Amino acid sequence: MSKAAEVDMKDVELNELDPEKQPMTDGQAAGGEKNGSVKVKVPKEEVKFTGLSKQELMKVAGTPGWVRIRWVLLILFWLGWLGMLAGAIAIIVQAPRCKPIPEMNWWNEGPLYQISDVEAFSEGLAGVEAKLDEINKLKVKGLVLGPLHTVQADQPNTLDLQAIDPTQGTEEALVAVLEKAHKKGISVVLDLTPNYHGAVPWFTAGDVDVLMEKVMAASEYWLNLNVDGIKVSDLTVATNSVDWSKLQAAFQNNGTDDAKKRLLMGVVKGISAEDVSQLVNMTGVDLVLSDLLGSKKGGVERIMAMDTLHSQQRNIGWGLGAAQGDRLSKQAMPPGLIRLYQLLLFTMPGTPVFTYGDEIGLQAVGDESPKMVWDLETDSIDGAAVNETEERTERIAVKKWFKALSDLRGKERSLLHGDYYPLSSSASALSFVRSWDQSERYITAVNWGSAAELLALKLAPTEGVELPETATVKLSTDAELAVDSTVSLDALTLKPGQAVLLQFPYLG
């Protein structure tokens, strides 16, 4: 037998002996398929749409029908575009023109906060820096510090306007205050009133010219350290100096398009609104703080002062006690009137100026500066003792009211720089309107008297502002005039010692 035959015979034997290669059954599996067979499905050929070729598209695009369709679509597109353009132009033409915003400086954008005694406020300049976070919550735009310089009362030979009294702090501490305040958007003004410990701010009349030279040199020194302005007292005396024009010129030249304007601030007492207006016009001072609100006790007199000065509101500062170095609590008697005067100051046409502690109704005892009270909301109090829970609660409520007013004034254009229109006034009450272009309008009504007042809130048609029949209560010291409630403007009755701020929309 050949070798090939032997190999074939072995294959046969192995196939017969290997059970795994044998079929499991001689029959057919279900479906008519034999065991071990595999059914393979051959996919049908997919037909893909590849679109028209370039030649086919060009051929179709050139047909008269498609040419007409393209022209129709093109004409419709341009007609629609022109229609939208015409509609936009019509809206712009018919819409009321926006009144241009007046030029605003930083001292017009919020209240100023005077800290005349930094030691009583918070243990010197270092304490002022530590309390800047709390001050910032009041939404103030500027701090007026001091005076801080060294001088003995009524002794001009001891005056050094470029040296800080060691009891107040150091120059390094002042620089730290400046840096932190500027990061928070708060400007800092130094009070350079020469004889601040004595009875007369400028010593004697014969000293004014010599002192003005020192004030000019000190102003340059502190402005170079990034102080944002200076304040001088008794502006009527200071402006009589032959060198006043030089100081004025120095401040007028410091503001450029890319630099922040520095403030030249003056204080006057015991002069009329007409004289204040003349000082603004003739002296070039940026902001004049007067005692008009404190010296004029009647509502008619106070309205007349506002009538005279409202057109110069960006140069006018209003305070009740601030010009004299007193606190609001000393002027706003009884103490329940503190909220009333806070509302009045925040809504008058001009810059409100407060002294530290006015935000909580802090009261002075004697001639000494009162120590500021901190941490009212906590169990322990840093500062003057508050013996009664009722007094603490009142201070917290007054501070909350102050914050609400400061926040509102910063947001509403009518209160920030709006026009002013007097409504009605009496011996112990007054009311007026603040409005700006298409913004929300406001009515301030206050009654500091001991009897109820019926206020007729009416404007002459020639004023340019039309009052609605009703207005909404925005803020109120009277629980019966609830916030968001509606009141009639025909006849508004204010209880004794009450104040309300009403709001009504622009009517078009």
Per-residue tens of pLDDT for the chain, all 508 residues: 444 444 444 444 444 444 444 454 444 444 444 445 555 555 555 556 566 677 777 777 777 877 788 888 889 999 999 999 988 888 777 666 677 888 899 999 999 999 999 999 999 999 999 999 999 999 999 999 999 999 999 999 999 999 999 999 999 999 999 999 999 999 999 999 999 999 899 998 788 999 999 999 999 999 999 999 999 999 999 999 988 988 888 787 654 455 789 999 999 999 999 999 999 999 989 999 999 999 999 999 999 999 999 999 999 999 999 999 889 998 888 878 999 999 999 999 999 999 999 999 998 877 789 999 998 876 544 444 445 688 899 999 999 999 999 999 999 999 999 999 999 999 999 999 999 998 999 999 999 999 999 998 888 766 678 899 999 999 999 999 999 999 999 889 999 999 999 999 987 7
Neighbours of 332 (CB within 10 A): 23
- Report yes or no on 192 lying in a domain: yes
8 Å CB contact between 235 and 219: no
294 and 407 both lie in a single domain: yes
The length of the chain, given as a count of residues: 508
460 and 319 both lie in a single domain: no
Single out the residue in 415, 438, 464 at which a domain terminates.
415
Single out the residue in 382, 415, 448 at which a domain terminates.
415
pLDDT confidence of residue 380:
47
Residue 456 belongs to domain with CATH number: 2.60.40.1180
Single out the residue in 369, 392, 415 at which a domain terminates.
415
Q: Identify the CA nearest to 353 among candidates 329, 383, 322, 389.
A: 322
231 and 378 both lie in a single domain: yes
- Residue 174, helix vs strand vs coil: helix
Q: Identify the CA nearest to 154 among candidates 117, 202, 116, 190.
A: 202
362 and 442 both lie in a single domain: no
pLDDT confidence of residue 29:
45
Rounded distance, CA 57 to CA 67, Å?
13
Q: What is the pTM of this model?
A: 0.81
403 and 461 both lie in a single domain: no
Neighbours of 253 (CB within 10 A): 9
Rounded distance, CA 304 to CA 302, Å?
5
Rounded distance, CA 341 to CA 19, Å?
112
pLDDT confidence of residue 103:
87
Please classify residue 109 by burial: count the beta carbons closer than 10 Å to its beta carbon, then call 0-12 exposed, 13-18 middle and 19+ buried: middle
Quick one: CA torsion of 506, 402, 339, 416, rounded to 10 degrees?
A: -30
CA angle, 444 then 466 then 432, to 5°:
20
176 and 135 both lie in a single domain: yes
pLDDT confidence of residue 266:
96
- Report yes or no on 35 lying in a domain: no
8 Å CB contact between 346 and 405: yes
- Report yes or no on 288 lying in a domain: yes
- Residue 488, helix vs strand vs coil: strand
437 and 369 both lie in a single domain: no
344 and 439 both lie in a single domain: no
425 and 407 both lie in a single domain: no
Q: Give how far Cα 179 sits from Cα of 225, 226, 342, Å.
A: 10, 9, 29
pLDDT confidence of residue 378:
65
- Report yes or no on 250 lying in a domain: yes
pLDDT confidence of residue 376:
83
**Domain count within the chain:** 2
pLDDT confidence of residue 48:
63
Pairing, β 498-504 against β 470-476: antiparallel
342 and 460 both lie in a single domain: no
389 and 457 both lie in a single domain: no
Range of the domain at 401: 106-415
375 and 489 both lie in a single domain: no
